[in-house]
Copies of this chain bind each other. A is one copy, B any other.
């Protein structure tokens, strides 16, 4: 089962990551996005749909065109998870340090 709304699943594909980098610099149409890639336009449309579904990209109607914009604030979910992991990792070494301090003090 592919969790389409999972942001990590969305980031797992290198083409989708490239689309996000593209959209970081500018808000453009699906056609303009597809212009940066070789291969079928329908494949790129699917990637854009996945990015939109999980909230990393937003479709904005402007006249007769639809523009796609990066929703940078959604990337905060990745930061949150990374920070949680880092915190657990650092606490572990804090505990180790405290333990070593305690042993050292007992030996004094």
SS of A interface (majority): helix
Given A82-B78, A82-B79, A89-B70, A12 contacting B14 (CB threshold 8 A):
no
Number of copies: 2
The answer on a CB contact under 8 Å between B82 and A21 is: no
A84, CB-defined interface residue at 8 Å: yes
Please measure, in the bound complex, the distance between the C-alpha atom of A11 and the C-alpha atom of B8, giving whole angstroms: 6
Given A24-B85, A82-B75, A11 contacting B14 (CB threshold 8 A):
no
Please measure, in the bound complex, the distance between the C-alpha atom of A8 and the C-alpha atom of B20, giving whole angstroms: 14
Please measure, in the bound complex, the distance between the C-alpha atom of A89 and the C-alpha atom of B70, giving whole angstroms: 9
Instruction: Fill in one digit per residue for A39-61: 1 if any B CB lies within 8 Å of its CB, else 0.
Output: 00000000000000000000000
A98, CB-defined interface residue at 8 Å: no
Q: Per a CB cutoff under 8 Å, which of B3, B78, B79, B86 touches A14?
A: B3
The contact sample of 8 A-B pairs, CB cut-off 8 A, is A6-B12, A8-B11, A9-B12, A20-B85, A21-B88, A25-B89, A70-B89, A72-B86
